A and B are shown apart, each in its own frame.
Chain A
Amino acid sequence: MQSSAQDAGTPYVLQMFSVSKTFGGVRALDDVSFEVREGEVHCLAGENGCGKSTLIKIVTGVYTPEPSADIKCFGQSIRSMSPKQSRAMGIAVIWQDLALFPHMSVAENIAFDQMVGNLPRFVRVGSRLDQVKSILDRLGVQLDLDAPLNTLPIAQRQIVAIARALMGDARLIFMDEPNASLTQSETDHLLEIVRNLSAQGVAVVFVSHRLAEVLEISSRVTVLRDGKMVGVFPTEGMTQARLTELMTGASLQQTVAARDRSAAKPVLAVENLTRHGEFENISFTIRAGEILGLTGLIGSGRTELAHSLIGMTKPDQGAIYLQGRQIKPQSIRQAIDLGIAYVSEDRLSLGLIQPQSISDNSSISVLKSLLNQIGLLSPDKQGQMVRHWINELSIKIGDPDDAVSTLSGGNQQRVVLAKWLATEPQLLILDSPTVGVDVGARAGIFRIIRHLAENGLAILLISDEVTEVLFNSDRILHMNGGRIVNEYDPRQTSVDALEVQIYA
């Protein structure tokens, strides 16, 4: 924890007062003030849709604030900022949606900012390779620099976005959920880099829904709720519980909720499932009403296993039984028809059709059940269903007909959940379902998942967040190197014990 940055003498790099922004009917920011000191790590905390990303977009000139705003950047008063100007002043951003270029190479993505400018100039593709390499070294990762970005899995794309923000000599870096898809060790590298930057006088504004991390890395935290300022607090002496209370206005208690479901009938049984190079000899059973946690590091084969269960890939050996009958799903469509739903890890790009409405996105997988007598889509049925899930998941929206792209990141994820829950499956596979979802909403989502389980749904919960699997599963499987290496009973273990097992 840095306390030096709290010294009142340290100059401000950014000061914003009375910042407001309205989108249609949504008041995204309402009279917010925000100040960052030189070399400070400052967290911006709040629930999904409270306006964190909007604030970042205002500082960087992507959005124009309402005229009341008074912004001072590096001591200079700014009337209206443009993205180029903000970059020139030394502001860099890791965007929540990454904002990368899918068909460009990794190297070009990382070094893209040197290309920006209106005057023609010769550039060599692949110049500054040394700098790119040294940044990746600092992050402790190796990437194929020539590979087109869209051939990379989501976690590596996030690394690319981070590396890009570290190119050039930024004096103020915004990181909007920079580690949502990263492994623990990659996250550790990132946090280390943040500390180094801070020691060199670079200010970092960090947004994350993982509160432990927020408290570990930052010296101050600004809390927003529903677009309004709650306040600025030093992190010394702050606890997760207190921070949650500030963000949500209510206190949440997490407890182990596991129950014994060994008497219920099996819904899914997997026997010796193998896909060479991905996972070996996987056997387990999920019973009706059971929530089975599956944890392990990224790359341990958990996501690949899920892909085989839902027909995206074919296993080489072994069998899958659903309700006692052997199944061999050949496609996702077939898996859905069999009663399996899968909420994927990369849901922002795979799960949603961004320009289409919230309503259409959430009903797309169940269109058949929304037809009226003459076989046309019934707007009444659709509206009813959509309203039901918006309420259940407390999705913060203006109008169900707005495009999904207007929602905050966390709320987009809830729309994906709604889409899958609406298929009323027998088996629900959730791959990291709360990445980027705030604490309040996490509790809400797990309440719903628990409720679904109580109605007999079998649930496979894949996550590398130890607390999440511990508090919400009935049993926990631990995968490593493509094999199941252990099974735990949540009632007989603890967060610390489990963390040691997994990260050791």
Chain B
Amino acid sequence: MPRVLRELGTVEGRLLFVIILMFVGLSLSTDSFLTLANLTSLLNNNAVNLIWAVGLLVVLIAGGIDISFAVAASVVQYLAVYVFGLMGGGNWFLGFVVCGVIGIGLGLINAVLIHGFRVISIVITIATFNAFFGLLMFFSSGRSVYLLPDWWTDRIFIFEHQSASGVWSELNLAVGVMVACVLVTWILIRFTNLGRQLYAFGDNPEAARRAGVNIALMQALAFGWMGMMAGIGGLMQVNIVKEVVPNALYGRELEVLAAVVLGGARLGGGRGSILGCILGVMFVAITQNGLNLLGISPFAFNMIIGAAILIAISSSNLSFDIRPSRRAVLQEAAK
């Protein structure tokens, strides 16, 4: 079968089709959707989600799941505030290092628990989700932090444009960081031996073990990568909202999880792509934005995402596991 046809039949292909439909529909039915200002703010508002999404993608590919990353990002923010305080300021470079390292540390806690106790990741990360959040609320006493280093809250634009009517459109630094995170993750999972081993481990752990794949390393890589993305996402989130609020990110994990699953990452491991992940986040973002512009109740958003997940999961089961094998049987019979 030609490659193009096969790509069209994938989750990614169909999701792209749906997104194009939505894009065209919203452009025609509202005047505000297809404007530079709206599209750039869409990117700004979803940059952090996509940073987390590519982290979560790596975990899903390796056959795991992580519920704790959004709360972990809050923990990173608080710890970073403390560390920058000790350092007497800090700068962007140190910001990435500190947040990345703390994030990796939190991710490794998950990895060690999962691998050490041989407990499935959903159980462990629900536990760490609660533990992280409890500790955070306890030590912060629920207080937000507004006094932050200037470098951290100063707006940095990587793109600015003023239209004839005087409306400003701009892209935040977070969008640039997002692009970098996506690229690096893409290289990891697609072009390195470690990435291919992650797929294998998620696909058939026993076979991977027999082939000599280092299972502990895979868990550490997947959850460490997720942790690093959680930390970087946390850092950029502060740059956008200019405050650190303990429960600001609570609940975001499900939105991101929905986006990644919609993008074709398989719960259970072994399948998922960067393209799908981007499209999944785009789908969620455009849905939210479109409902807003059309003036529909925000509660409809949750229903639509829920329905989309059901459709995605049931249709992928139908056409991925049964149809191809029927095709294979036919091919064999035709020989």
Interface residues of A (CB under 8 A from B): 60, 62, 82-87, 93, 95, 98-104, 108, 112-118, 120-125, 144, 146-148, 150-153, 155-156, 277-278, 298-299, 301, 303-304, 307, 313, 482
Contact = CB atoms under 8 A, between A and B. Distances in A.
A62 B210 contact: yes
Given A144-B1, A151-B325, A115 B197 contact: yes
A121 B193 contact: yes
A141 to B, nearest CB: 11
B324 interface: yes
Given A99-B207, A115-B200, A147-B1, 19 more contacts: A82-B212, A99-B204, A101-B204, A101-B207, A103-B270, A108-B196, A116-B193, A117-B193, A118-B217, A123-B193, A123-B196, A124-B191, A155-B332, A277-B333, A278-B330, A278-B333, A299-B332, A301-B333, A303-B329
For the complex of A and B, the 3 pairs showing the least CB-CB separation, nearest first, are A84-B212, A151-B324, A99-B207
Nearest to B208: A101
B325 A153 contact: yes
Contact of B334 (A62, A116, A277, A307): A277
Contact of A115 (B1, B193, B335): B193
B332 A153 contact: yes
Contacts of A114: 193
B329 A153 contact: yes
B200 A150 contact: no
A120 B194 contact: yes
B206 interface: yes
A112 B211 CA distance: 8
B118 interface: no
Given A83-B211, A278-B330, A121 B192 contact: yes
Nearest to A87: B212
Contact of A102 (B209, B270, B329): B270
Contact of A151 (B3, B209, B327, B334): B327
Interface residues of B, number: 39
A310 to B, nearest CB: 14
A255 B324 CA distance: 42
B212 A100 contact: no
A125 B200 CA distance: 13
B190 interface: yes
A489 B208 CA distance: 49
Contacts of B170: none
A102 to B, nearest CB: 6
B321 A125 contact: no
Contact of B325 (A99, A112, A150, A299): A150
A499 B230 CA distance: 65
Nearest to A98: B207
Nearest to A121: B193
B243 interface: no
A83 B328 contact: no
A299 B335 contact: yes
A263 to B, nearest CB: 36
A122 B191 contact: yes
A60 B197 CA distance: 19
B119 to A, nearest CB: 15
A125 B271 contact: no
Contact of B192 (A104, A122, A147, A303): A122
A82 B324 CA distance: 36
Contacts of A299: 332-333, 335
